[in-house]
Structure 1
């Protein structure tokens, strides 16, 4: 007997960091990036990923969220069965693409099917979000909501996720800097700034407001305005020292070659960046000019 579940990645369009403090954010599911989790019987608890193959509970600390998911699901199933859990597909880790939320969700759903637990949607999301708290120290719930959605997600912690099915009729270029970000470190860095630098609290508030304005512009299909909000958000995130020399370099190239807007996506300190483009051709041109700096890129019609 074997159970599998496929979950996709995500990018945060706007509102990273401010969403942790109760403000709004917008995030987009990326269907082309996914991870499949397969659960099957084995002689011992075993994990098989591209980066680690070995006893499940002896895996490195970056898998602590997954260990929580597996222990919780075994407890709910009242089972001491030993399993092999295999992860296939590739979402680059620590880049802001939602890899930890994706594997937490797909593991929860695959084990739910394997043990025929029939958990509610709420229970599945609670387990996924708790795994995210373990992984990142403080998690808003945005990543889990977006990897669980087929549509653009407008999110805040109080109201939860709302789907937006309207298209902007533009193109999003996602580029991987190849630099590992650390959500835990970035979130802690911003927390310290809020305590010690008075203007940062206002900047966080403005980031939240920019997310609301982006939603309004999106619904009006005003890509140029959305691009301008991306650029202002990047200025704020840069002021938090979350950008890097490589991100700044990619920004210059993108904006010089017709991007409507550019920003880092996710926690920063590396990871991915996004460039909003008028059309597919502009995105291809920018990706081509950035290929010696970025390690990978993806183009999504939005």
Structure 2
């Protein structure tokens, strides 16, 4: 067996289709290479162990937020006769509960690293199945979009029926990603949306509209019509806010962005906190917005898209 295995995986942002993707509608998500985590697996003489920025200790004694990873490690170790005790170390930082895909990144990299370390030779489908099951444990209901995007180097167009399709086409714009510093909670957000849909036909129609907006985004992306994509972002933000998924800080950032040259702005991910994305015509506009909105966020990144 290998003495040490390292696997790096990157984060993502959902451009359009959060929440609606859970119900089978389309969504678009973008890999963010600047945000990544490396998972290292090595044999240990002691108990199976986990080292992260937030937890150092026996793997299976880790808090419940690590239940998805515990499922992965237990499942893969059980595939090997006389499996060794392992130490798994996570280095790098993707802010948690912000919609940046941190749980999917860790799930994917853990599955790949442990598969390689244990010489299991899991197929791509098996890796994704285990990763997505861990995501179901983490979030209660997962579409598969996060796992598909953190496993891709290109924009991902996704629905549950057809799975992920990669788009290498560039839009020709700049994306400003701002971390509000407010912890989102995907599980609570998904439950809240479901409850509202169960109680209201109009809410079901709004979720369907989010799916339509994702399809329209893909169409305009391929035409490199950034202005129209910006308008779509604004409409999507209005719908997400109507589900009470926005916060005062998110609203403030969107307002500042749109008043200072953004083509459109919206929350990204589950909501109730997390990140805001602003579509900008160029780098200079993105930097200007970041400067003016800085009191409302903890950190920001700029991606050419």
Q: Residue 142 of structure 1 corresponds to which residue in structure 2? A: 145
Identify unmatched segments of 5+ residues in structure 1. none
| 1:292 alignment partner, SS class | helix
Shift of 1:166: 0.1
Q: Residue 56 of structure 1 corresponds to which residue in structure 2? A: 59
Identify unmatched segments of 5+ residues in structure 2. none
Q: Residue 167 of structure 2 corresponds to which residue in structure 1? A: 164
Shift of 1:292: 1.6
Q: Residue 292 of structure 2 corresponds to which residue in structure 1? A: 289
Equivalenced residue count is: 302
TM-score when scaled to structure 1?
Answer: 0.99
Q: Residue 13 of structure 1 corresponds to which residue in structure 2? A: 15
Q: Residue 28 of structure 1 corresponds to which residue in structure 2? A: 30
2:89 aligned with 1:86, yes or no? Answer: yes
TM-score when scaled to structure 2?
Answer: 0.98
Shift of 1:197: 1.8
Residues 273-288 of structure 1 correspond to what in structure 2 (within 5 A)?
A: 273-288=276-291
Q: Residue 5 of structure 2 corresponds to which residue in structure 1? A: 3
| 1:76 alignment partner, SS class | coil
Q: Residue 173 of structure 1 corresponds to which residue in structure 2? A: 176
Provide the C-alpha distance between the structure 1 equivalents of 2:237 and 2:296, rounded to a whole number of angstroms.
Answer: 19
Provide the C-alpha distance between the structure 1 equivalents of 2:67 and 2:276, rounded to a whole number of angstroms.
Answer: 27
| 1:258 alignment partner, SS class | coil
Shift of 1:198: 1.8
Residues 1-302 of structure 1 correspond to what in structure 2 (within 5 A)?
A: 1-42=3-44, 43-302=46-305
Map Cα deviations across residues 105-135 of structure 1 (whole Å, 9 max, x no partner).
0000001110111110000000000000000
Provide the C-alpha distance between the structure 1 equivalents of 2:205 and 2:187, rounded to a whole number of angstroms.
Answer: 22
